[in-house]
């Protein structure tokens, strides 16, 4: 088995593990930073819509049948997460694929040679697929993670408590994403954590204000 350094130098080497080849191709196509940025950005975008649905359900518990609100909220959350998954993969694959194809064509013109089957061409395709998957999966899983307490209602957790815990879960995930972004940017991680947490707090407050105004 080749070591990581050899795989980084020869990303097409079949003696390397699948993971090492993918990571080497991402590095070759400068896709590592893009993938990491998409992971954090879209995970953030996955939490906020679900948090909005949960807050809407939490407020509605005071006026409607709790079981009906729960079932409607769960359906809305799964539908939203699935829609973000499909949208993320499709939009990223089309956009990133077009950008990568243009870059390859420009490189071919400058080299006066075709690059079909070359390491850079395969690395470009791998980057497009990986980035697209991350773009779709990160909001899907972050949204579902926010709603884990609601999912646990089937195990006996009280509906009203599940809504409250889901709001807390969303806040924790937002804060954790801020810590991750702070680490990536090599700045104060807690400052970034507070910033991302503030976005969730704004969503909660605005939905509460809107519900108060509309009665």
pLDDT by position in tens, the chain (length 215):
455 555 655 555 566 676 677 777 777 767 777 788 788 888 999 999 999 999 999 998 888 899 999 999 999 999 999 999 999 999 888 888 888 788 777 777 777 777 776 677 787 888 888 889 999 999 999 999 999 999 999 999 999 999 999 999 999 999 999 998 888 777 788 998 999 999 999 999 999 898 878 76
Of 14, 47, 76, 61, the C-alpha closest to 139 is 47
Torsion-angle region of 186 (φ positive above 0: left; ψ -120 to 50: alpha; else: beta): left
Of 53, 45, 49, 51, the C-alpha closest to 75 is 53
Q: Is residue 98 part of a domain?
A: yes
Which residue is listed with tokens 């070759």? 28
Q: Is residue 193 part of a domain?
A: yes
Beta-carbon contacts of 212 under 8 Å, excluding residues fewer than 6 positions away, are none
Q: Is residue 138 part of a domain?
A: yes
Number of compact structural domains in the chain: 1
Q: Is residue 63 part of a domain?
A: yes
pLDDT of 157-197, one tens digit each? Answer: 999 999 999 999 999 999 999 998 888 777 788 998 999 99
Q: Is residue 183 part of a domain?
A: yes
Q: Is residue 2 part of a domain?
A: no
Please say whether the beta carbons of 189 and 176 come within 8 A: no
Q: Which domain holds residue 125?
A: 17-210
pLDDT of residue 211: 82
10 Å CB burial of residue 37 (0-12, 13-18, 19+) is middle
Q: Is residue 157 part of a domain?
A: yes
Beta-carbon contacts of 166 under 8 Å, excluding residues fewer than 6 positions away, are 54, 146, 147, 148, 149, 150
The reported pTM is 0.82
Q: Under DSSP, is residue 3 helix (H, G, I), strand (E, B) or coil? A: coil
Q: Is residue 126 part of a domain?
A: yes
> Is the alpha carbon torsion for 15, 21, 23, 26 positive or negative?
positive
Measure the CA–CA gap between 174 and 43, rounded to whole angstroms.
Answer: 9
Measure the CA–CA gap between 140 and 85, rounded to whole angstroms.
Answer: 5
| Tokens of residue 108, six digits | 């071919």
Q: How many helices (H) and strands (E) does the chain have?
A: 8, 0
């Amino acid at each position: 088995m080749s070591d990581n350094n050899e795989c980084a130098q020869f990303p097409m080497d079949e003696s390397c593990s699948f993971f090492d080849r993918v990571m080497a191709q991402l590095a070759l196509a400068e896709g590592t930073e893009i993938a990491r940025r998409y992971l954090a950005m879209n995970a953030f975008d996955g939490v906020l819509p679900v948090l909005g649905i949960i807050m809407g359900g939490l407020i509605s518990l005071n006026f409607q049948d709790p079981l009906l609100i729960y079932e409607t909220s769960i359906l809305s959350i799964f539908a939203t997460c699935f829609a973000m998954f499909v949208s993320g993969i499709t939009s990223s694959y089309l956009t990133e694929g077009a950008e990568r194809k243009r870059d390859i064509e420009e490189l071919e013109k400058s080299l006066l040679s075709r690059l079909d089957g070359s390491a850079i061409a395969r690395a470009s395709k791998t980057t497009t697929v990986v980035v697209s998957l991350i773009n779709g999966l990160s909001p899907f899983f972050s949204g579902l993670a926010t709603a884990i307490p609601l999912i646990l209602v089937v195990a006996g957790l009280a509906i009203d408590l599940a809504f409250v815990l889901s709001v807390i879960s969303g806040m924790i995930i937002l804060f954790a994403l801020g810590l991750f972004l702070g680490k990536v940017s090599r700045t104060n991680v807690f400052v970034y954590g507070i910033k991302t947490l503030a976005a969730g707090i704004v969503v909660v407050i605005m939905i509460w204000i809107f519900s108060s105004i509309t009665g």
